[in-house]
Amino acid sequence: MFLEINPLVLPDVGLVFWSSVAFIVLLVVLGKFAWKPIMTAISEREQGIENALAKADQMKAEMATMQGETEALMQKAREDRATLIKEAKEQSDKMVAEAKEKAKSEYDRIVADAQLAITQQKNAALIDVKNQVGALVVEVSEKILRRELSNKTEQESYIQQLAEGVKLN
């Protein structure tokens, strides 16, 4: 009950020997010429990958730092903008208040000048009316009293006294 092995399945001793020799030669040739450059290339690739990962980590840290700085700058810019807007509003309010004050003082000055001019014109008109009334009184009185007063200068002074005594409204 032994298993019988088919001779076609068993390799020949010569084939095993030559295959082993070819394999050993291949190992020696690969070890001498190809193994070092392959290992060097693999090592360089590993080093490049490590460097790239380190650079990526460094860049990530720099980006986080820059992002923090950018946020701080943006916050400062917002604060500066708010301050500028506040100052501009205060300046605008101040300018409006000054313009109102100037307009009010100009209005008061114009009203005062107008009142003064009205008063002066009123006084001038009153003086003119008094003079006209005085002249008319003198003329009428002259006609009425011509016979009673002989001197015209006395007549005019008397009428002037009477005119000053009369108050016009």
**Concatenated DSSP letters of 2-69:** PPPPPTTTSPPHHHHHHHHHHHHHHHHHIIIIIHHHHHHHHHHHHHHHHHHHHHHHHHHHHHHHHHHH
Higher pLDDT, 153 or 24: 24
pTM here is 0.39
Mean pLDDT of the chain: 85
pLDDT at 148: 59
| Encoded tokens for 16 | 């095993």
pLDDT greater than 70 at residue 11: yes
pLDDT class of 15 with cuts at 50, 70, 90: confident
pLDDT at 97: 94
pLDDT, tens only, 88-128: 999 999 999 999 999 999 999 999 999 999 999 999 998 88
Higher pLDDT, 94 or 133: 94
C-beta of residue 97 within 8 angstroms of C-beta of residue 123: no
**Residue-range domain boundaries for the chain:** 13-165
Percent of the chain whose predicted confidence (pLDDT) is above 70: 86
Q: Of the given ranges (2-6, 13-17, 27-31, 104-108), which has the lowest mean pLDDT?
A: 2-6
